[in-house]
Structure 1
């Protein structure tokens, strides 16, 4: 199968201070955590500025708590284009890439690395660890997955339509078109 480029319109919710740094430095500062859902990278909502706005509100609250109220941040949402070759994207919404992830986990278990993995009880920590390892070994530039948003009700039970949030985690920031970054009014 021929490789092809996949493009996304992405939205990143943050605090004004960080938004300014991102635009000036053309770089997202990554705060490493052991429980990121898709690994350690820059996170975006795909085609969903409203979800990014919600995240920006959460970020402002956290920023204000950590600054002891000295400076209250304001929420900002940035939009940008992200383009990545399909072969360098781990798209966990596809059967093929779900199999790659499962096969990677199975290979680790065969190599007795499962002893380490089985000690970890937190599913987010375990997933982050596995994805960070897989991304490093296979040189993926980004991961993508659609999460069900649990705080929304189904509008009509007959249709079973649920609100989902598509997230993209970028590891190699060269796939981000920094010239396309714009502040989105919220």
Structure 2
């Protein structure tokens, strides 16, 4: 597989006009390995009042959306405004292994830090070894585990909580 040049990849905030490409990627990359909800239906959008474009960072190669990460405050409470949470990450299977996932995670961490966050958290399914390895390489550590939290495809799966400090 060819290595990506740094100038090939653009990471930027999503725009309303990106919704179709983002929705197509989200639907194409849906998997029981990473998702607890049902596969998004054909023609289903991504953006709504709770999921505005500014919550998403997109990875683009040329004009093609090849990945995204969604980073948000975990609650509306003032007492944890210092925390952000990754609530979605996907990379097009045709470009995996080129550092795009790591670039998206690092961009989400940088954006969270710029917003004043000291910590960033996420939840990952216990059987999703590739995602867990990615997060560990990006400095996330397991902080908790809800054993057999989900029943997916007839199998009980753990919900793993991971976090990374951003202030040092």
Structure having the larger proportion of residues in helix: 1
> Which is strand-richer, 1 or 2?
2
Same fold (TM over 0.5): no
Q: Structure 1 length normalisation: TM-score? A: 0.27
Larger radius of gyration: 1
